[in-house]
Amino acid sequence: MWRSPSLFYLLSCNFSISLSSCFSVRSCLALKMIFCVPLLFSRILLSIILNRDSGPFSFRLIRSGICWRLLVKAVTPYIIHKIPRPKGSIFLLVAIQVFASFNLLLSFVMALGFLRIRRRHWWTSCYLWAVWVEGPLGFGLLLSCRIVQAFQLYNIFVKRRLPPIRSFIFLALVLLPWIVGAAFIHMKKPLNNRCHMRTRWIIPVICLHALYIAALVGFTGAIRHIEFRFHELKDLWRGILVSTCSIGIWVVSYILNETHEDISLGQIISRSIVLVMTSVLVLAFFSMSISQPLVSLISSRKKDHQECSMMGWALGIPDSGLLVQRESTQLIDSNEPLDKLLLNRRFRQSFMEFADSCLAGESVHFYEEVQQLDKIPVSDHVRRIYMARHIIDKYITPGATMEVNISHRCRQEILYTQDLAHPDLFKNALNELIHLMKMNLVNDYWSSTFFMKLKEEARMKTIDHEVELGGWNFSHRLSSVYCADDPFHQEHSPRKLGSSSHGFELH
């Protein structure tokens, strides 16, 4: 009968998930904490005081709810808004964080004995859950991912270059001490039957956790002066704060478990607090703004469709992705060079639609975003770096979602540049792509229905513009037309006109 609070907790969490769909992705964490954490504590206390056998059910519920929340938060933007999944480390680092979060929660449930299994199996071993899954595959992997992300931010915004080492290689190097430490503990086997270590073992383990937090603090301190646009620095500081508090609570819980082994209620309370703090750590550590800043801004509601896939819109660049209402209405001359024609927004939009219909629109989209980059002042290094990195990840990186066809030499110049904010970073690539468009797309465009439609629209707008400029002028001079065709004959009769003109002469 005491499982009803668990059902209430599950319904509240589902309600918070539904309510969070009305807000941006960044609001989901706050809603989760507001609705679920108080109920979580009350459910644990009820399990302890009233019916301890229902405790494992509660913790399984908590773990599954948090893991489900992380998966929903990571997958929703791609399903609702049909965003193409980015390739490479940008997306996989987020997926690895979800995997590490699941492992960390599961390892605490198994190692602390919340899930009771009658028969002993090899997969119930303390060394599997408390050493490998909690360490290299859990907390160590979470911290390593965050250090890799901070290392990327340091290189991109401080050094103004792409990281000199691939993310997965650097992640493996950062994770190596955890793997070596887990292998050493597995060989020495210092754990007791409650999956606890003695003091001479626990101190080096805590020092390893603290060392990684210190490394994260070092990278975060090196980028603290950067004015980030997507809360990257705030997410890093939040992860540092919560992870530090978690280690402190873990140490206190360990001391309570070792010094008060005979008090079962104290054991349960301390273990419950450890699991709750681990859940808070997972929720606070997971963030997409560092790896995928655009996705972190996307609303979960399908009807709130914005140009969220365009970095120019997110950075506040004027006229990003929009046609100006008073765009030039002059007719397009096919004898003009392509680079001059592309400066016309309406021609560029029509040409882009034609190129997309030919499955060759990457070059025009690249030109469009480089034009947005050129609108950012050269002195605004942070926004230029954001835009340049977005263009590189979307068009230049091998295997990118819209990889453009440029020479290997030009691609390497961009990928190994020493200044991501340089005004001529994409100049050579742009020249190559304009030459490619002249050879493959322009001649077919002039005979396409897209160009015919553009000419008709330009002609109609020109006629409307001329009518607007040379339309009726309702002055006294033109209003002297008085006959049945004069729509104003009731107001401007000859007698009234004579009277008004005569009155005007008297004055």
Burial of 305 (0-12, 13-18, 19+ CB in 10 A): exposed
Nearest residue to 87 (alpha-carbon basis) of 292, 382, 273, 364: 292
Average pLDDT of the chain? 75
Give yes or no for a contact between 418 and 164, defined as CB atoms under 8 angstroms apart: no
* CB-based contact 383:350 (threshold 8 Å): no
pLDDT for residue 10 is more than 70? no
- Dihedral of CA 80/315/351/401: which sign? negative
The CATH number assigned to the domain with range 315-457 reads 1.10.167.10
Q: Could you tell me the residue ranges of all domains in the chain?
A: 4-297, 315-457, 472-506
User: pLDDT tens for residues 186-222?
Assistant: 999 888 877 778 778 888 998 999 999 999 999 999 9
pTM, two decimal places? 0.74
Query: What would the pLDDT profile of 250-280 be if each residue is shown by its tens digit?
Result: 888 777 776 666 666 666 677 677 777 777 7
Residue 229 near residue 382 (C-beta atoms within 8 A): yes
Task: List the structure tokens of 15.
Answer: 């309600």
Whether 323 has a pLDDT exceeding 60, the answer reads: no
Question: Is residue 363 left, alpha or beta, with left meaning phi > 0 and alpha meaning psi from -120 to 50?
Answer: alpha
Q: Which CATH architecture has domain 4-297?
A: Up-down Bundle (1.20)
Dihedral sign, Cα of residue 219, residue 221, residue 224, residue 230: positive
DSSP string for residues in 322-349: ---TT---PPPPTTS-HHHHTTSHHHHH
Asked whether 274 and 301 are in contact (CB, 8 A), the reply is no
| Token digits of residue 404 | 């453009």
- In this chain, the answer to whether the domains covering 4-297 and 315-457 adopt an identical fold is no
The residue count for the chain: 507
Specify the DSSP class assigned to residue 492: S
**pLDDT value for 110:** 79
